[in-house]
Structure formats: C-alpha cells, structure tokens
Amino acid sequence: MANVTLRSVRKTYPGGFEAIKGVDVDVGDGQFCVLVGPSGCGKSTLLRMVAGLETVTGGEIDIGGRIVNQVEPADRDIAMVFQNYALYPHMSVYNNMAYGLRNRGMAEAEIKSRVEEAARVLELSPMLERKPRQLSGGQRQRVAMGRAIVRQPKVFLFDEPLSNLDAKLRIAMRVEIRKLQRRLNTTSIYVTHDQLEAMTLADILVVMNGGQVEQVGNPLAIYEKPATTFVASFIGAPPMNLMSTRPEEIKSQLGGSASDVGILGIRPEDFVITDQTPAGGVALPLTVEAIERVGAETFVYGSREQEEQRVAATPGELPPGEIIVRIPGTEAPAIGAKIRVAAVRNKLHLFSADGRKRLEA
Amino acid sequence: MVEEEGFRRYVAHIILWIGIAIVAFPVYIAIVASTQDNALIANGQMSLLPGGHFFQTYYQTIFVGTTGSTREPVGNMMLNSLITALLIAVGKIAISIISAYAIVYFRFPFRMPIFWIIFITLMLPVEVRIYPTYKIVADLHMLDSYAGLSLPLIASATATLLFRQFFMTVPDELLEASRIDGAGPFRFFWDTLLPLSRTNMAALFVILFILGWNQYLWPLLITTRDDMQTIQIGIRKMITTSDALTEWPTVMATAVLAMLPPVFVVVVMQKLFVRGLVETEK
C-alpha cells in the first residue's frame, strides 16, 4: 500500500546521453499506472530506476513517503516481473517463489503458506516441483507473477511481461493481471509498447516519448483529447489521421476561429462516407487505394488528391496524403473509386503547427 | 547421419578400424607385457597372448615397487599423482570461477587491464616461465611437497576465460531478480551462478584432471624424493636402469595403471562433460 511519486526524475548516462529528461508522475495508492511509448523512449529505464536497478541522476523517487534514491532494490519493498521472466533455471517453481522470502529470513512455515496461496491463485499448484524449463511460456509468466505476489510488496513493477507470449495468451494474461491487481489492490507500474495493453490496463496512462512525458491521465481522456500529435498517433489503432491544414480548402472549411491551427487530426472511426459536408466539419475527397476487411469492420485506405506537406513524422503515423477510414461491417467502396468522407466538428482534433500543443476550438 | 552405399561404406569402416588398431594395439601390448615373465620379454620372445603373471606383477608393482633406480611402490606414486591432479583441477576451477565472477560482475579500477593480464598469461605456459617459477617455489621451501607440485599450475587463464564467456551468456535479469529478491553478491554467486555452472565445471574438471595427471616436466624438476614422485616420473625412472635389466612387466603394469584414473574420470563424467560442452542450462 503506497503512493509512488516521481519528482523531476532525470537519468543522464556517463557518456552524456539523457535517457530521462525530467519526469513527474504521481501514482496513487492501489492505482495501476502504465508507461507506454515507442522503443527507446525511456519507459523501461524509468521503471528500472523505480526498481533501483538504475541509478537516479536527478530528482526524487518516493515510494510510500520514503525517498528511495539511495535504497537498494531489495529494501525498496517492490517486486518486479521481467520481460523474460528471469526465473532461476535450476530451482523448482516452489523455490523460485520462496527464494526472496528465504533471503529475508522468513520462517519456513510462513513461506510455505504464502507460496501455496500464490500457487493456488495462479493455478500453479500441480507444478510446484517442476523446473522452469518444464513449463510453457504462460506458466513461466505466472511463476514470475507468483514470485512477485508472495513478497506482498508495496509496489509491483512489470517490464513488458506479456511481450513473449502469443497473441491469444497475451489477452488472457492481460485480464488476469488486471483482476489480480484489483484484488490485491497493490500499486502497480507497468511498462509496455502495446497501446492496446496500455488502454485496457491503466488507471493512469503515461505516454512517453524521447525521455519525456507527453501526456498523463485517464486512458479514455487521453484517447479523446490527445495533448500532442505524438499521443494522437500513438494511442489508437489504426492511428489518427493527421494532416496539415495548409491547403486552403481545409482551412476555409474550419472557419475563421481556427486560423492558428497547423495540424488537423481525425480518428479513422470518426469519418463517414457521405456527399454532405457537415456544418463546421471537414469533408475530403479520396481515391480508394486499399481495403482491409477484418470482419466486424473494414479499413479503407485512401489518398487525397493534392500532395501533402509532410507533418512531423512520429512512429505509427501515416505517410502524408494517406487517410484511413474505419467503417463498420464489410460493405466497402471498390478500389479506385472516388469517394468523399466527412467528419463532424466535435470529432476534429486541432494542433499547433509543431504538433506540441492541442488547440480547443 | 548419411547412409553410405556399399563400397564407400566398407572403405570408411576399414579406415576407422585401422585407426582404432593404431591406437589400441600399443595399449594391448602394454597389458599383455605386464602379464608376462620379464626374461621372455628381455629375450625378445614376448607372446602376443596374455601370460600368467598378472596378479604377481600387479601386486609387485602396486605394493612393492621395482628393485632398480626407484624402489617406490607404484601405489604411492598413484596417490601422489592423484592428490596433485585433484589439487590442480579443483584449485584451477575455484580460482578461475572466482576471478571470472569478479571480472564479469564487478566494476573496479583497472578491471580491463587485469583481464588482459590474465589473458596474456595464456602465452606463458609453465615451460616458458619455468626458471622463475622454480626459483620462487624453491625459495618458499615448497620443493618435494604437494603445494609445490600443484600451486604453480593452478592459475589458469583458459578456465577463467571459459567461465567469463559462460557468465556473459547468463541473462542480466537473473542478477537483477536476485538483487530484488535480496540476494547480495555472495548469495547470487552461491545460489545461482554456481548451480548454473555445474556442467561447465564438470567439463573443465575432466580436462584439468587429465592435464594435472599427465604433468611431467614440472614434477620432474621439483621432486627429488622418491616418496613424492608422481607416476609419470616413476615410469621414466623405472625404464632407465644403469646396470640391471629393465623390469618390463612392472613398467608396463605401471603404464596401464597410469592410464586408469583418466579413463575412469572420462567414463564417469562423460555425460556431464558432453552437456557442458554443447549445452548451457537455461
């Protein structure tokens, strides 16, 4: 039971490389915080700094009211689940879970009851005597979770724990982790590059890019009101359509109030195929280039007629001039067809020209 | 395995059999000679079939010794060799696993220079540094002692490098998980690294035991007393006799006995040995 507070946390490597450029995050007691961002954004480094595996070169990390910058990992009262699980290969499942408790000098009877309880919760009871190599990926993952649970720590740290599992198992384990965390009500920090995992797990979502926090908040609030074009294109799949408003056509459609708008964003699902132009909204003529039918919905890839000015390129962003439209069902226009799509005013996301600021119309 | 057809397969088998014969025949001769009467061998009338002196010769060899230049029973020589080889093998493994642990897992001043110094000693086997080493051992009054026989041979760059390579394949997360689990450097070494190194240690033990057992030049230099000589030196001394007949059955019996411990070690540890060479337990 603890809050985790990061106050202008920095990490500069001896070579001068700044991995974390001043991060402020406040995770409340029992909350599930997800750090999400593209690879190399510093999210894992930040997590490892909370764990005590990386030194902190600036700022403060506070766990449960205690500044832990100089505290050894073992004394921070945290437990960590690693991406490759880091199970001790020569120890049985039981000993993997018991090891940390033994090192703390806990009585063997207490260890036994804790491990058996964790094994029961994680459905590992029949395999307590097995070695990690005799387990499947999902079972190993659960052992890694068990090792964290038995410690009954103040904070759980997860470093991309599901990325080594196949897609189906990943979804199942994602739900498991969320249920478990709710039940134990332990403050958790979870690192992932998968925005879907981030959206579904988080109480608080922290979107990171280039060692900085782009946006912190409730996942749906971030989805609905992304603060920057980076967040807009990173959260949501397929990504938000971003286009420069330089073509006067669009600018005039937006009206005079949006004269300083540089970038216009529209989520694929907010488009409708129609010949009408909604009042205050935007309509675009498109040539259909590709169709993806996934069953419940269909993605239409279209290109705009005039060549686009290139908008700040960020991971997950579309090439200039390309627009994705998401329509329900399987009915779709033919490839090569000329269509018109439109979005209403309150579904438009407006950003300053550098993409760093959201503008409210 | 590719199945070869007819003629080619026979050729291959014949070549293999010739190879086996080349290796095995001298061993067979040694065994046969050790069971025959010395006078027959000296006359050049040695039979290729085993003689009837097996028990007598081996009893004489192990418990009594020859009547010539060294009168030490071979049993004692084997004990000396065994102690020396064990000290060398165990000592080398202990020293090198600890130094590899230091080099891989700790940051300390001059870490890389120290690593390179260890690496460079690969180029300095006993034969090259034999005079200074002898001088040091003599000054420390370690001539004719197990310490003198084993200590100078214990430091091992090869084994250190092998463990270093192995440690570098151990995932960092294991160390990090140990740190979070409250295991300090000593516990991580003892509880995690040592068990993981088991197969590597077994493989090294086989190699190093045989290396220690087969030492010749170094024991030759520093042992002068008969009761401290190793079996390899003993054989050499038995063959050279100034005025008497070489006791060939005893010499051959000694040679056969000298072969047994390495064979025993290889056979017993073969499984671990192969696993240590081909697989890392992860």
A305 and A329 part of one domain? yes
pLDDT value, residue B240: 77
Q: What is the CATH number of the domain that holds B131?
A: 1.10.3720.10
Confirm or reject contact between A103 and chain B (CB < 8 A). yes
CA torsion sign for B235, B238, B242, B243 is negative
- Domain range for B101 is 34-278
Name the residue with higher pLDDT: B157 or A312.
Answer: B157
Q: Last residue of a domain, which of A174, A206, A229?
A: A229
- The answer as to whether B25 is a domain residue is no
Reported residue count of chain A is: 361
Q: Which of B175, B180, B190, B193 to mutate to test the interface with A (most CBs of A within 10 A)?
A: B180
Mean per-residue pLDDT for B10-35?
Answer: 92
Q: Supply the angle between the helices B157-169 and B198-213 in degrees, to the nearest 10.
A: 170
B187 at A interface, C-beta within 8 A: yes
Instruction: Check whether A63 has a pLDDT greater than 90.
Output: yes
How many structural domains does chain A have? 2
Q: What is the pLDDT of residue A310?
A: 46
Q: Is the pLDDT reported for residue A361 higher than 80?
A: no
* Torsion (CA) B258, B92, B184, A162 in degrees, nearest 10: -70
Domain endpoint, select from A198, A229, A260: A229
| CATH number of domain containing A133 | 3.40.50.300
Flag whether residue B191 sits within 8 Å of chain A, measured between CB atoms: yes
Among A229, A257, A289, give the residue marking a domain's end: A229
pTM: 0.81
Same domain, A19 and A146: yes
The reply to whether A171 and A317 lie within a common domain is no
Indicate the residue of A74, A84, A133 with minimum beta-carbon distance to B181.
A74
Closest partner residue to B174 among A78, A83, A88, by Cβ? Answer: A88
A255/A214 same-domain check: no
Identify the DSSP state of A256. Answer: G
- Contact of B30 with B254, CB cutoff 8 Å: no
Residue A305 in tokens = 């007629």
Instruction: Locate B279 and state its tokens.
Output: 């697989």
Examine residue B262 and state whether it is found in any structural domain, yes or no.
Answer: yes
Comparison of pLDDT for B65 and B242, the residue scoring more: B65
Task: Give pLDDT tens digits for A292-301.
Answer: 998 889 999 9
A138 and A253 in a common domain: no
pLDDT digits (tens, 9 = 90+) for A193-235: 988 899 999 999 999 999 999 999 999 999 999 999 899 989 9
Q: A156 pLDDT exceeds 50?
A: yes
The pLDDT of residue A263 is 82
CB-based contact (8 Å) between A13 and chain B? no
Q: What is the pLDDT of residues B138-178, one digit of tens each?
A: 999 989 999 999 998 888 888 999 999 999 999 999 999 99
Partner residue opposite B171 with nearest CB, options A74, A86, A104: A86
pLDDT-derived band at B14 (thresholds 50, 70, 90) equals very high
A165 and A43 fall within a common domain: yes
Instruction: Examine the domain organization and report whether A286 and A315 are in the same domain.
Output: yes
Asked whether the beta carbons of residue A74 and residue B182 sit closer than 8 angstroms, the reply is yes
Q: How far is CA A150 from CA A53, A178, A182, A184, A283, in A?
A: 21, 17, 16, 11, 57
User: DSSP secondary-structure letter at A270?
Assistant: G
Which structural domain, as residue segments, surrounds residue A274?
235-359
- Lowest-pLDDT choice from A122-136, A302-316, A340-354, B168-182: A302-316
Indicate if the pLDDT at residue A136 is higher than 50.
Answer: yes
Q: Is B180 in contact with A51 (Cβ distance < 8 A)?
A: yes
Q: Please indicate, yes or no, if residue B231 is contained in any of the structural domains.
A: yes
Question: Residue B36: what are its φ and ψ, rounded to 5°?
Answer: -110, 170
- Contact list, B187 vs chain A (CB under 8 Å): 103
Q: Specify the pLDDT at position A315.
A: 45
Mean pLDDT confidence for A68-75: 92
A338 or B86: whose pLDDT is higher? B86
pLDDT value of residue A262: 75
Domain with A280 in it: what CATH number? 2.40.50.140
Query: Could you give the CA distance from residue A161 to residue A76 in angstroms, rounded to a whole number?
Result: 21
